[in-house]
Structure 1
Amino acid sequence: MTATVKYDEVEVGQEIPAVEYPVHRVNLVMYAGASGDFNPIHWNERHAKAVGLPDVIAHGMFTMAQAGRFVTDWAGDPGAVVDYGVRFSSMVVVPDNDEGAVITVSGLVEEKLDGDRVVIALTARSGDSRVLSRARATVQLA
């Protein structure tokens, strides 16, 4: 866990450096087991292509979880997120190779609120696509 970020140490407009989260098909199988979402588009290439997808795709909630992880790692406290929402704007395609895919998440302190809370605007990309839009987290800082 990183050091806890303090409210007085952040400013509106402050960038939070990008972090890359590798994604391999085994991660999707593990997520399916944890979430109970065994839709074959998330693990079976033949099925994914049969329904018109380019390949196996990551679960939307898996993608959202990586951006949430980015915020909690930055804040230094998994309980710091008091509100979090995204819209899914594109797919994370996960090819069956050693490289897999990468979800790159970055942030920007968009607003400082009363009560030591900040609003973080998140950007999540995979390849050339923005995979989350309207991604925002309100975080309670120390």
Structure 2
Amino acid sequence: MSVEKGSVVKGTELPPLELHLTRADLVRYAGASGDLNPIHWSDRVATGAGLPGVIAHGMLTLGAAGRIVTDWVGDATRVRSYGARFTRPVLVPDDDSGATVTVTAVVSDVTDGIAKVDIKAVYDGKAVLGRAVAEVVLPAH
């Protein structure tokens, strides 16, 4: 998508994004990140730790949710900052469907060519990221 500086105003809504996370995604992420904690792949260990089941890595959820901004701006190098708090885990069942996280975002401010984007990531009707905000440098044209 091509984002132009003058076309982005406060209230601009980004196209929504649906993330589908499966156990296979968790295993791939564990291998890539080195986070091999068994709460991300073993129901026995996860429930033994007091969790309702296997949960997605928080950083996987955060990174995947950030795609709403990079898809919109078209150039990941334009993202100046991105951060959030983890508020709830994403429970990933051991089936072919996995878990669906719905991500929405809206521009909350545009100042000096920088768009502040508020992001919401929701799983099972509840927010999984809190205070998720990205700052994007808008193109100069």
Q: TM-score, normalised by structure 1?
A: 0.94
The answer for the alignment partner of 1:102 in structure 2 is 100
Distance in 2 separating the partners of 1:7 and 1:93: 38
Secondary structure of 2:51's aligned partner: coil
Contact 2:14-2:68 at 8 Å conserved across structures: no
Residue identity matched to 2:117: I
Letter in 1 for 2:3: V
Is residue 126 of structure 2 the alignment partner of residue 129 of structure 1?
yes
Q: Give 1:138 deviation, angstroms.
A: 0.1
Residue in structure 1 matched with residue 30 of structure 2 by the alignment: 32
Match of 2:61 in 1: 63
Q: Secondary structure at the match of 1:15?
A: coil
Structure 2, gaps ≥5 residues long: none
SS of the counterpart of 2:14? strand
TM normalised by structure 2 equals: 0.95
Structure 2 CA distance, aligned partners of 1:117 and 1:139?
Answer: 6
Q: Report Cα offsets for 1:102-130 as digits up to 9, x if no partner.
A: 1111101000011x210000000111110
Q: How many residues are paired up? A: 139
- Equivalent residue, structure 2, for 1:44: 42
Q: In the aligned structure 1, how far is the partner of 2:28 from the partner of 2:68? A: 19
